[in-house]
Structure 1
Amino acid sequence: MKRIILILISVFLMSSVPANAAVKKDKRLWQDESIYSIMVDRFNDGDTSINFDVNTKDPNVYNGGDFQGIIDKLDYIHDMGFTAIRLNPIFDNADKGYHGFWVKDFYKTDEHFGSIKTFQKLVNEAHKRKMKVLIDFPANNVAANHMWVTDPNKQDWFHKKQDIQDWNNAQEIENGWADGLPDLNQDNPEVKNYLIKAAKWWIQKTDIDGYSLPEVNMVPVSFWHDFSTSVKGVKQNFFLMGIPAVKSPSNELEYEKAGIDSFYNGPVSADLRDAFANTDQSIQPVVSELDKGKKTFDTSANMANYFDNEYTTRFTQDIVKNRQFPGSRWKTALTYLYTIPGIPVIYYGTEIALNGGDIPDNRRQMSFRAEKDLIDFITKIGELRNQLPSLTRGNLEVLYEKNGMVIYKREYKGETSVIAINNTKKSQSITLKEKQLDAGKELRGLLNGDTVKSEGDRYTIILDRDNSEIYVLADKTGMNIPFVSAIMIVIILACLFLFLIIRRSKRNMN
């Protein structure tokens, strides 16, 4: 009897969940991914045996994070819905090079992070969870004390030492020494061959899935053409994500032709921060930048959208400066980030609203003892993004936008998602008409469970302030017969069960 009741309760719960009008995704594409970006040294300390020269109180030196620490937290990352991780450079670095950009040896892992064997385990464990792994490949410069710098036979491996005065001058950007680091001359065939050979070696040795390319616009496009052709010949669907220095280059299309699959979308990031750090801000600049991206970058669906990263101040700082509550601001902001075209890249610590100013304050140690409210929200919205192809592949059409209230739809192969975001100080009621959505259907809310049925040819969406909803357009539901039947059967069997219990009790008493 107990088993029967449990089965029927399960039917009852399953019947109460509305079926989504979901379309099956074809082969998994990079635009379907969501990336969790990690600074290895600041994430999690999993192997204390390699904690030499570590000082957790000094943000300018190693703090103890390592490969094993990431392995230990892969389930944590995966459970939030992330399908890929991105790591800062992991190669052997000069003293205090916790960030990975003072490379001394392209063929060794940094001893503070762990062995190459441990990194191979990290990639393997990620792949078991169907997660992809990208690592930074810094091809622009090396450490100031790299052995090449003093090698008389390698003086032509570097550009002449000079600071960059004009960041709008492409030649200065490609030849200048950024942050005083020796700038590699990629036009030298020996340099080019060395870097490409090393990049191929890591793919063959560890089976990584892609490179993120810091300071991509400080390296000649011609180099990236040869680099791309070579590394993509090693592994199918290998991904290259460019991270521009200072600002995005004006000739992004040239990089795309050279084989760069994606760019960190700096202009969109700046507009996102302006729009969501406070309420009552227009979202139109972000929409305009997205439209602009379609015209300048053919694979705009692969553009990497983000709020902050290891080079910027934390978005939480913007929120705090505006005297807003970080949890609410982040929820609203992430709803938008997860539902617009492009790949969302989330900097570690976002899920706990980690704060931080300029470098190195924006690279604080991760904490796993925080409230789970924002983590649960990211998990839910990540699940929806993974389930609905329209959120990763659909076109985008704005249905309403005014001073922080925005409604837009995304359509893909008959699936229509409608995203409503109220980034204002007041509750909002917006009516959509038949020209915007098909009449005679209903909008089923998947974030908060709100349902909006059409009234004639109109849909009226009501949202509280600082609230969002992701709807799927579906046929109207009448009375849910299985749902009602399950309830009735459960009630009848429960009564029968109680009757038998009482009857048995009386017999025992007699």
Structure 2
Amino acid sequence: KVIKMKGVALLLITLIGLATIASAAHSTQEWKQRTIYQIITDRFARTDGSTAPCSDLHKYCGGTFKGIQDNLDYIKSMGFDAIWISPIPENFGDDYHGYGALDWYTINPHFGTEDEFKSLISAMHAKDMWLMLDVVANHVAYIDLDFEKVNPFNKAEYYHAKCQINNWNDENEVEYCRLSNLPDLNQDHPFVRSTLKSWIKDIITKYDIDGIRIDTVPEVKRQFWAEYTQEAGCYAVGEVFNGDVSYVASYQPYVPALLNYPAYFTLKGVWMGGQSMYNLRNLINDENQKFKDATILGTFTDNHDNDRFLHDHGDVKNYQNALVFALYMQGIPIVYYGAEQGFNGGQDPANREVLWGHMDTNSEWYKFISTIVQTRKKHHVWDFPHVERYVTDNFYAFSRGDVLIATTNSHAQQSIAMTYLPDSYKQGTVVCNVFYPTQDCATVNGGALKVVLNDGEVKIYVPQTTLVTE
């Protein structure tokens, strides 16, 4: 009996251990395999499935946790296996976006109940999809000096003195003053520091959160983020809204990863401004030199804080090239909802359109993004380095493993005989463009592959042997 009891005890310990592993937040290295779909919770889908338009994008439009859960297959079918959602604390007034927390310990009732949030996460995990939660630790709601309205930061002593950020080159001012007059928390106050750290640890454990996106990183002292992300114990990607590689890289010792704003601005210059594609070479080289690890940065072409690409530049071919580059360059890619429907909203809140009524799984954009996401996953590109293969002012080709990506920012024909090829591209190897896998193939001959891009198109080549014939 004693032996049997010991066996049962060991079994229970093992099962508990496995359950803990299964529910643990995911590490930075694990997230490298994921492709993230960014949602504004209020704008994705309603609980009742209504597709009536929103009368005022400055206010709540009705998107919910249940709405997301009911439409997970719309996201998963494109190949996405992670979703970034809006901050969840109860917000002030019409702050549908989630960045104006009023009560840290209450789920925003506009989004749904605590049980509905848990249900969303359970449904995602059942489909092998991870949740990335947007979090804020810099500021609270637009309550000016009425601090008693905020739970738990209800005293003036929890905040920095009121001042506004005017000089973004003054780090002290950026860390101590207010962004857009949002009351600025004093993370050096013991209560504030410990509460924010315990909140992030508890929220991740309670809801089984897989990773976090951190808002307004430069507005808080660096050392705080080191402690905060340690408590989080998962992949954390921080927002440093700046195009300077050295400046953004200076935060990586404190935050595991950053949104790749230097790449975002470089891509805009290349595909909106027609700048030389040698800038892509310079970007990759610069980031590899200055970041502790450039392969875990969050790459993107659009987000909720900037005009959509197609608003500022309506060239569809240029946008397709930029999207492919952002999803295949080194890093963890993020696609902003609506890109798969060709959304082109301008300045906030126009770039935060409602998606309901536009979930067309047969649209050309939906199929385009599905192809690039699924190919990325099928070939495990994250296991291979970003290797430049050929560059001119208007042509940039690179590989990730056996995937060869050819991009251009010009509508003039690009015809290149490439000789620096992936190792798997041997004499006689047939490679096909995944967008036209049966019509657009080429053969390696004499150590060269002829790549032709017409009218600004982008191509993704894979060995023909890796394609599945329907």
TM over 0.5: yes
Partner of 2:370: 379
SS at match of 1:395: coil
Higher normalized helix content (fraction of residues): 1
- Taking a change above 3 Å as real, the CA distance of residues 124 and 248 of structure 1, as seen in their structure-2 partners, is farther
Separation in structure 2 between the aligned mates of residue 134 and residue 241 of structure 1, nearest angstrom: 10
Partner residue in 1 for 2:429: 442
Residues 145-202 of structure 1, C-alpha deviations (whole Å, 9 max, x = no match): 3897148982221000001121011111110111111100001110011111111221
Is 1:272 matched with 2:267?
yes
Q: Distance in 2 between matches of 1:179 and 1:434?
A: 50
Equivalent positions of 1:489-508 (< 5 A) are none
Question: 2:407 corresponds to which residue?
Answer: 421
Q: Which residue of 2 aligns with 1:10?
A: none
Q: Aligned residue for 2:89?
A: 91
Partner of 2:187: 186
Q: In structure 2, what is the Cα distance between the partners aligned to 1:296 and 1:239?
A: 20
Query: Is structure 2 residue 237 aligned with structure 1 residue 241?
Result: yes
Aligned positions of 1:42-191 closer than 5 A = 42-47=43-48, 56-145=54-143, 149-150=147-148, 154-191=155-192
Q: Which amino acid aligns with 1:431?
A: A
Given candidates 283, 294, 301, the residue that maps to 1:307 is 301
Q: Deviations over 1:203-237 (max 9, x none)?
A: 121101111101011111111121122221xxxxx
Q: 1:150 to 1:206 in 2, by over 3 A?
A: closer
2:399 is aligned with 1:430: no
**Whole-angstrom CA distance in 2 between matches of 1:207 and 1:461:** 46
| Distance in 1, Cα, partners of 2:47 & 2:365 | 24
Q: Structure 1 pair 409/441, CA: closer, same or farther in 2 (3 Å)?
A: farther
Whole-Å separation in 2 of the counterparts to 1:436 and 1:48: 47
Letter in 2 for 1:276: W
Taking the aligned partners of 1:57 and 1:122, their CA distance within structure 2 comes to 27
Could you tell me whether the CA contact under 8 Å between 1:418 and 1:473 is conserved in 2?
no
Q: Which residue of 2 aligns with 1:33?
A: 34
Q: CA deviation at 1:93?
A: 0.4
CA distance in 2 between counterparts of 1:254 and 1:72 reads 41
State the partner residue of 2:198: 197
SS at match of 1:341: coil
| Per-residue Cα deviation, 1:298-338 (whole angstroms, up to 9, x for no partner) | 22111111112111111111223xxx3x3x33322222222
1:110 and 1:48 mapped to 2: Cα distance?
20
2:450 matches 1:464: no
Q: Which residue of 1 aligns with 2:318?
A: 329
Partner residue in 2 for 1:8: none
Taking the aligned partners of 1:384 and 1:359, their CA distance within structure 2 comes to: 32
Aligned residue type for 2:394: G
Unmatched 5+ stretches in structure 2: 1-27
388, 395, 417: which is aligned to 2:385?
395
Asked if structure 2 preserves the Cα contact closer than 8 Å seen for 1:139 and 1:195, the reply is yes
1:250 shift after superposition: 4.3
Tell me the equivalent position of 1:7. Answer: none
CA-to-aligned-CA distance 1:45-95 (integer Å, 9 cap, x gap): 12489xxxx992111111111111111111100111111110121210011
Q: Distance in 2 between matches of 1:436 and 1:88?
A: 40
Q: Is the 2:243–2:263 contact (alpha carbons within 8 Å) kept by the matching residues of 1?
A: no
* Structure 2 CA distance for aligned equivalents of residues 144 and 424 of structure 1: 46
Please, which moves more after superposition, 187-196 or 239-248?
239-248
Instruction: Tell me, yes or no, if structure 1 residue 283 matches structure 2 residue 277.
Output: yes
| CA distance 1:249–1:137, shift in 2 (3 Å) | farther
Aligned to 1:298: 292
| 1:29 Cα deviation after fit | 2.7
TM-score normalised per structure 1 = 0.78
How big is the shift at 1:474? 7.7
Q: Secondary structure at the match of 2:351?
A: helix
Find the aligned partners of 1:162 and 1:382 in 2 and give their Cα distance. 44
1:208 corresponds to 2:205: no
Q: Work out the CA distance in 2 between the residues paired with 1:367 and 1:285.
A: 38
Query: Contact between 2:59 and 2:96, CA under 8 Å: does it hold in 1?
Result: yes
Deviation at 1:388, TM superposition (A): 0.9
Identity %, equivalent residues? 29
Q: 1:423 to 1:204 in 2, by over 3 A?
A: same
Alpha-carbon distance in structure 2 between the residues aligned to 1:33 and 1:68 = 23
The amino acid across from 1:350 in the alignment is A
Contact 2:143 2:183 in 1 (8 A): no
How far the C-alpha of 1:283 sits from its partner, in A, is 2.1
Deviation at 1:428, TM superposition (A): 2.5
Uncovered stretches (5+) of structure 1, i.e. residues with no partner: 1-26, 233-237, 477-482, 484-510
1:115 Cα shift? 0.6
Q: What whole-Å deviation, never above 9, does each CA across 1:285-306 have from its counterpart, x for those lacking one?
A: 2331222111221221111111
Cα deviation, 1:369-399, whole Å, max 9, x if unaligned, reads 356111011111111100112x223222322
- Paired with 2:194 and 2:308, the residues of 1 have a C-alpha distance of 37
Deviates more, 1:294-303 or 1:157-166: 294-303
